[in-house]
Every structure is written in structure tokens, then in C-alpha cells.
């Protein structure tokens, strides 16, 4: 059965009939009147002119004229699938969320995506991939809106429009469509050296996955799990594909892009149709919820840092299997609305400044993309838990709300929805201490190290992977028109690994920069990545 909603009147919507907007043996108008002819417009005589009174003509053309909705402002190109998540029970001691209970099965919908390209771009672009999962739990919908790279470009969500403006095609020529080979991209990442860690992950082979079925997923931010007794831990979420992690080479990607730009979405749909259901284990790295939220010198609130799995292994907590394809791309893959705000009792956010901004952005963008505030009522977005939300009216409202008093307490409609019978668990925002002088804009000094984890990543690669990474930098930087940008990025590479810088510099025919040690050696202006902090950094 489809996602169901219970309105305040107790009526269930979202039944299969409700999802199935079309039925019956005959072609009809949108108001259900049977049609005899849908191929010829009504004319005054066989040679026209066409008549304004032809309702069927106007309805058909007008509806078509309004068929497109805006594509996502990022992650526009995606492919989705339905599946099931089964908890192992291993996280039950850490979180009260029922979704993690042993053998508890929860329906999920997953959307994989590229970030930069438009809806019609190639699947094989060198890019980060989105990996967003909607868990339709009994306790509300939980969205884990993840990527296939464990760190992000920026540390503060206020810079998200800037990084997206830099990675999207140039405003003048609208190129490139889906790659990172352009001046604004390299200008941004060389000036904002916190982006270097993320960038090296997708300059390496992980930037061109072999298949969505062979990608890891990372929640990136540190989240807080709340147990039944109120105790908390900090966690990072990881998806591990049962098929392992595989990529294609750049040359393979070029050939596939030409021959089949839909390669990834075809691969996912074909595998599911053939019964080769892709599976991922969900796991967590668990950290003590200390006041400073640091681990081994790593700031857990900095989304440009990982915690190496050698230090904190990933503990498996459940298995996800994708077992059926969407039946309608628009209704499911396009209209699905993920949102990091969709949390359930037992899973809470932390003060990561990137995550905090995401909590506003998704809700906001979907009002434009899905035409108003009622997108939660679209079949793919309907919670499987009962909904009683006191939200009313608005564009595209489909619920018929009963009662006269959508406020609490009231003495007209009766009942107190805040009563919690034994065993029921409301969502409680977990109280966490803040160390605050308000009007603080500077990030903490623990966010300053921009190079050591990029170095760690590069040094963990095999020789072949290192070679591919150097070739990727050389190719992509080779597309830059501005010499100064290439030189600045080479300085950043020298701060990551001198050999990498040397190979790329040789490839570009540029002098090898001397090793840089801090953002100050790369970025000429103090203002850019360290707003509000003293310069040079101590």
C-alpha cells in the first residue's frame, strides 16, 4: 500500500485508489466527461479557424504548457528506487528510534543524484553524488540526506549559494554543463582552502562511480542519538554497499557518456528489474557526547573532516535493500522532497554550522520547486505515521480538514493531542549547552586545518589511483582560462602533497610551487576564508 495520511478527522488518504489518478476504460476530459476524439480540434468547417469554445483543446494544450516544474537548484539529475530497511537491533541501546529495533522493517525511498548538472546531463560527470534516503517510520519520516563523499566543500551554510554559483556553469557562456573544469570552480576552491579536502575526493576515482549500487553514502555531519533513558552519543552515519566500492576510469567515462549518458539510472533500474537487488549496510561511528564535541583533535562539528575508520570503526546497525523501481518518474523521483529537518524521536542534530543552515534551506526551496507549502501531501512525501499538524489551507491543499479550532488548547473540538500515553515517544529537541557570545561570526580555530586530511586521503590511495587523481587535476585545470587561478590551485596542491603538485605542474607546463603550509600561503587575501579571525593565523 502507498504512504497513508490520517487527517484530523481520522480519514485515511493516500490509498492506492488515491495514488492512481487515472482509471476507467474511456478517454475523458479532466472532469471525467467521455471524449470521442482527442486528435482533432473543433473548427468552424473542415478548414477552420479553430473555435475558442473547444474546451478539450484548451484544457489539453494549457495543461501541457504547465507540465514542467523547476528542477532542483542542485542535485537536479537523479534516479530513485523503493526498498526496505531492516534494523539489526545493535543501535537500540543508543537510540530510542524504533527504526533501529531488531528485525523492524521500514519502507524507504532512495534518490541518487549528481550535484552540478541539469536534469538532462550525463550520469558519468566527475562530480559528487547525492544519496538521499527517506525512511517512512511509524514515528514520522526520517530523511538521511547524504552524499557519496564523507566531507563537504564548505564549513558554514552561509557560503552554500557562493559555492553553488561557482560550480554551476559560467553565467556568460553557460558552460560547462556538468563538469568541474572551469575558472569559477577553481577560483572558489583555491580561495576557500577548506574546499580542498572535498575536491580531492572527487578528483580521485570516487568522482566517477561505476554504479549507484557500488557507492558508499555518508551523512557527513555528526548527529546526536538519544536513548530511551535520555542518554546521548554523537554519531556519523555510513552506508556500505554490499557490492563494494567501484569506479570507472576517465577514459571509460567518456566513452560511456557518449554511448549511454543514462548509464547509472539504467543500471539501477535494470538490476532491480532483474531481481539483483542492491543492498547497503547502515553503520555508525560512535563518539562520546562530550562538551567540546572533539575526538582525537578532530572537531566533530567541522563537516570538512572525517574521523578515520582505523580510529573509530563503523558499527553496522541495519540493512537496506532496494527492490522496486518507481512506476512514475515525475510523481516519485521528481516530486520527492528530502529534508534534513525530518527527524524522529531518538535522532537529533548537532550545532554543525553547515547542518544548521540546511535545516532552513530544503524546506524553503521546496516551496518554490513544488509550488507551495503542501508538498508533504504528495503521495511520495506522505508520512506513514498518522499526521495531525494544525497546518491549514495554502496552495495545492488536498486534505479536507474537519473541525473549527486548529489551535490547542481549545474547548470546541475536544481532546489534547499533547497527551502522551505510556510508551509513546514525542520528539524532544535535545537540550545542549551553548558557549555563546551572540553576534559571533568567526568559526572556531579547530576548523582551520584545511590540508592535513586531504593529504591523508591522497596518501591512502594506491599508485594507480594517485596517477588518476593527478591526471584529473591536470585535465580539469587545463580547462581554466586564467593562469593565476591555476597557479593558486597548484599552491594548494603543494600544501597537500608536493609530488602531486609537481606532477600536475609538469602536466600544465607551469613551474612547481614551493610547498605551502597554511591557507595563508595559498590565499593572497586574509578576508576570504577566515572572516573575523586575526590574520595571519597563529
What are the catalytic residues?
75, 147
Q: Which is it for strands 315-324 and 105-114: parallel, antiparallel or unpaired? A: unpaired
Say how many CA atoms lie within 13 Å of 119 toward its Cβ: 10
Nearer to ligand HEM, 306 or 493 (CB): 306
Nearer to ligand HEM, 222 or 489 (CB): 222
**Residue 147: strand pairing partners:** 130, 218
Q: Is 442 in contact with 531 (CB distance < 8 Å)?
A: yes
Q: Got the DSSP string for 159-205?
A: GHHHHHHHHSPPTTT---SS-S-SHHHHHHHHHSGGGHHHHHHHHSG
3-state secondary structure 288-329: ECCCCCEECCEECCCCCCCCCCCCCCCEEEEEEEEEECCCCC
Minimum distance between the CB of residue 418 and ligand HEM, rounded to whole angstroms? Answer: 31
Nearer to ligand HEM, 378 or 516 (CB): 378
Minimum distance between the CB of residue 73 and ligand HEM, rounded to whole angstroms? Answer: 5
Minimum distance between the CB of residue 302 and ligand HEM, rounded to whole angstroms? Answer: 11
Grid coordinates given for 3: 504512504
**Residue 80: strand pairing partners:** 111
Nearer to ligand HEM, 354 or 505 (CB): 354
Nearer to ligand HEM, 235 or 493 (CB): 235
Nearer to ligand HEM, 341 or 361 (CB): 361
Q: How far apart are CA 264 and CA 272, in angstroms?
A: 12
Minimum distance between the CB of residue 13 and ligand HEM, rounded to whole angstroms? Answer: 22
Please give the radius of gyration of the chain, using alpha carbons only, rounded to the nearest integer.
26
The full length of the chain comes to 538
Burial class (CB in 10 A: 0-12, 13-18, 19+), 472: buried
Minimum distance between the CB of residue 218 and ligand HEM, rounded to whole angstroms? Answer: 7
Phi, psi of 54 (to 5 degrees): -75, 90
Point out the residue whose Cβ comes nearest to ligand HEM.
130
Element counts in the chain: helices (H) and strands (E): 13, 14
Nearer to ligand HEM, 112 or 287 (CB): 112
Q: How far apart are CA 284 and CA 223, in angstroms?
A: 10
Minimum distance between the CB of residue 111 and ligand HEM, rounded to whole angstroms? Answer: 4
Within 10 Å of residue 329's Cβ, how many Cβ atoms? Answer: 14
Burial class (CB in 10 A: 0-12, 13-18, 19+), 189: buried
Minimum distance between the CB of residue 142 and ligand HEM, rounded to whole angstroms? Answer: 14
Q: What residue ranges bind ligand HEM (CB under 6 A)?
A: 72-75, 78, 111, 113, 130, 132, 145-147, 152, 157, 160, 220-221, 303, 336-338, 354, 357-358, 361-362, 365-366, 369
Amino acid at each position: 500500500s502507498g504512504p497513508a495520511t490520517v487527517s484530523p478527522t481520522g480519514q485515511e488518504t493516500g490509498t492506492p485508489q488515491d495514488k492512481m489518478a487515472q482509471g476507467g476504460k474511456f478517454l475523458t476530459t479532466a472532469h471525467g466527461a467521455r471524449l470521442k476524439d482527442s486528435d482533432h480540434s473543433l473548427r468552424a468547417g473542415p478548414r477552420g479557424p479553430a473555435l475558442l469554445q473547444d474546451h478539450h483543446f484548451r484544457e489539453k494544450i494549457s495543461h501541457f504548457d504547465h507540465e514542467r516544474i523547476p528542477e532542483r537548484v542542485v542535485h537536479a539529475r537523479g534516479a530513485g528506487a523503493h526498498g526496505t530497511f531492516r534494523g539489526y537491533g545493535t543501535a537500540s541501546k543508543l537510540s530510542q528510534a524504533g527504526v533501529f529495533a531488531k528485525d523492524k522493517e521500514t519502507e524507504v525511498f532512495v534518490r541518487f543524484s549528481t550535484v552540478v548538472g541539469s536534469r538532462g546531463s550525463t550520469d558519468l560527470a566527475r562530480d559528487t553524488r547525492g544519496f538521499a534516503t527517506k525512511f517512512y517510520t511509524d514515528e514520522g519520516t526520517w530523511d538521511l540526506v547524504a552524499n557519496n563523499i564523507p566531507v563537504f566543500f564548505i564549513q558554514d551554510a552561509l557560503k552554500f549559494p557562493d559555492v553553488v554559483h561557482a560550480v554551476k556553469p559560467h553565467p556568460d557562456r553557460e558552460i560547462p554543463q556538468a563538469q568541474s573544469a572551469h575558472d569559477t570552480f577553481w577560483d572558489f576552491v583555491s580561495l576557500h582552502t577548506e574546499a580542498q579536502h572535498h575536491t580531492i575526493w572527487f578528483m580521485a576515482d570516487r568522482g566517477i562511480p561505476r554504479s549507484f549500487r557500488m557507492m558508499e553514502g555518508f551523512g557527513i555531519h555528526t548527529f546526536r542519538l538519544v536513548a530511551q533513558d535520555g542518554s546521548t552519543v554523537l554519531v556519523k552515519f555510513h552506508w556500505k554497499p554490499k557490492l563494494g566500492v567501484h569506479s570507472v576510469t576517465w577514459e571509460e567515462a567518456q566513452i560511456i557518456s557518449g554511448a549511454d549518458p543514462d548509464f547509472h539510472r539504467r543500471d539501477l533500474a535494470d538490476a532491480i528489474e532483474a531481481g539483483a537487488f542492491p543492498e547497503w549496510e547502515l553503520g555508525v561511528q560512535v563518539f562520546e557526547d562530550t562538551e567540546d564535541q572533539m575526538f582525537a583533535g578532530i572537531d566533530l562539528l567541522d563537516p570538512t573532516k572525517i574521523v578515520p575508520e582505523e580510529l573509530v570503526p563503523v558499527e553496522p546497525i541495519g540493512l537496506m535493500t532496494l527492490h522496486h523501481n518507481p512506476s512514475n518518474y515525475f510523481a516519485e523521483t521528481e516530486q520527492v522532497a528530502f529534508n534534513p529537518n525530518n527527524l524522529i524521536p531518538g535522532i537529533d542534530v548537532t550545532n554543525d554550522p553547515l547542518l544548521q543552515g540546511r535545516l532552513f534551506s530544503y524546506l524553503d526551496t521546496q516551496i518554490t520547486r513544488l509550488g507551495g507549502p503542501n508538498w508533504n501531501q504528495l503521495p511520495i512525501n506522505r508520512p506513514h505515521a498518522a499526521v495531525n499538524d494544525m497546518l491549514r489551507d495554502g496552495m495545492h491543499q488536498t486534505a479536507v480538514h474537519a473541525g473549527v479550532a486548529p489551535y490547542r488548547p481549545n474547548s470546541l473540538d475536544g481532546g489534547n493531542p499533547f497527551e502522551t500515553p505510556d510508551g509513546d515517544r514525542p520528539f524532544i529537541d535535545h537540550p545542549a549547552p551553548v558557549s555563546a557570545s551572540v553576534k559571533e561570526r568567526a568559526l572556531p580555530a579547530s576548523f582551520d586545518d584545511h590540508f592535513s586530511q586531504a593529504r591523508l586521503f591522497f596518501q591512502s590511495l594506491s599508485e594507480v589511483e594517485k596517477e588518476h587523481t593527478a591526471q584529473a587535476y591536470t585535465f580539469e585545470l587545463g580547462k581554466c582560462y586564467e593562469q593565476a587561478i591555476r597557479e593558486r590551485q597548484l599552491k594548494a596542491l603543494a600544501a597537500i602533497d608536493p609530488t602531486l603538485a609537481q606532477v600536475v605542474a609538469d602536466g600544465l607546463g607551469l613551474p612547481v610551487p614551493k610547498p605551502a603550509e597554511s591557507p595563508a600561503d595559498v590565499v593572497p587575501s586574509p578576508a576570504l576564508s577566515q572572516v573575523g579571525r586575526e590574520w595571519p593565523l597563529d
